[in-house]
A = this chain, B = another copy of it.
Amino acid sequence: MNKVKVGIINVTGYAGVELARLLSQHPAVELASVTGRSLAGQLLGEAFPQLSGINLTIEAKLGQVELAFSAMPHQESAKEVITLLDRGVRVIDISADFRLKDASAYLSWYGVSHPRPELLSHAVYGLPELHRTDIGSATLVANPGCYPTGAILALAPAVKSGIIAPEVIIDSKSGVSGAGRSLSLKTHFPEANENVTAYALDGHRHLPEIVQELSQLAPGSPPQVSFVPHLIPMTRGILTTAYAPLAPGKISVDREGQQALLKLYRDFYRDEPFVRVIEEPPHTKHAWGSNYCFICPTIDIRTGRLITVSAIDNLVKGAAGQAIQNMNLMLGIEETSGLGAPAVYP
């Protein structure tokens, strides 16, 4: 069997190195080339001793591949993506550059004009649970943000079925790896350890992504979302707790309604290989190192609200794992290929 050659642009960030880890175990593709500016010339296993089984040198420019992952920061990623597409390479972009359909939203949230707005409509938002078919035939997949992945999956069945009113509150708790490998005071160990804080109270860049996707599910009644992310003293994981009033008359506010809600979610995700709807509140630990998303939907009977909680690993389902899931769909191979490993526990 001929393996498909794939490459990673910017292997040295956390999403890049996680891609390398997962791809090195993938049965149907060959990690053929990796780039990284500051470490170009080093063996991958020198920079990251745990990857010394992968015999690759970090390059300045990507070698010949059929499909590439770009794990560059936004803005810089767009440039790489455009070059790759022009070379005929299919691309999965881990950055935010092609997630928003609306170029003016990109300008307003990222502070720069989009370099190729006409590509935005071609790019497919890479959440397989919502866009599986389009992903399969895409040349450019915009891999979702980590927060949007957890938030959209937690809410999609409720939004699509119309059982909730638009007043949606999303409160997310993320491990520190979500802030990346670049140094900052807030991710300095003595500052982040034994500490929790909310941030981006005036608007996080993942908000428009969440709103875009949820609005597509309920075009007539787009959700009005407040989203507050929190930094938690752990390395990996995002727990999202979402709240919304139940729409009147759609579902009963009692234990029977809770069972109906559970069924609604289970039906929605029935054929999804990586979503597990459960009856107890999930632990981010259930997903640690794996591509699974655990969701517990429930009704707050006292107030008639939906409360739904999801747990993912921000670097797997929230980044590298989902990118590989998208790659599998694009290559027409088994969707779960290379992604079956359960969470590492404890």
Contact = CB atoms under 8 A, between A and B. Distances in A.
A183 B181 contact: no
Given A169-B243, A196-B234, A201-B281, A191 B346 contact: yes
A202 to B, nearest CB: 7
Given A49-B294, A171-B171, A290-B50, A188 B183 contact: yes
A160 interface: no
Given A224-B303, A342-B24, A193 B193 contact: yes
Given A189-B235, A298-B202, A345-B50, A340 B283 contact: no
Contacts of A52: 276
Contact of A53 (B171, B342, B344): B342
A7 to B, nearest CB: 19
A341 interface: yes
9 closest A-B pairs by beta carbon, nearest first, are A50-B343, A190-B346, A183-B183, A195-B285, A171-B171, A176-B189, A189-B192, A177-B190, A196-B239
Contact of A198 (B50, B53, B237, B241): B241
A286 interface: yes
Contact of A21 (B54, B276, B342): B342
Interface size class of A (residues with CB under 8 A): 35 or more
Interface in A284-335: 284-290, 292, 294, 296, 298, 300-303, 305, 307, 309, 311
Nearest to A178: B190
Nearest to A198: B281
Given A197-B282, A201-B298, A243-B169, A49 B233 contact: no
Nearest to A211: B302
A194 interface: yes
Interface string A196-234: 111101110000000000000000000011101010111
Contacts of A302: 203, 224, 226
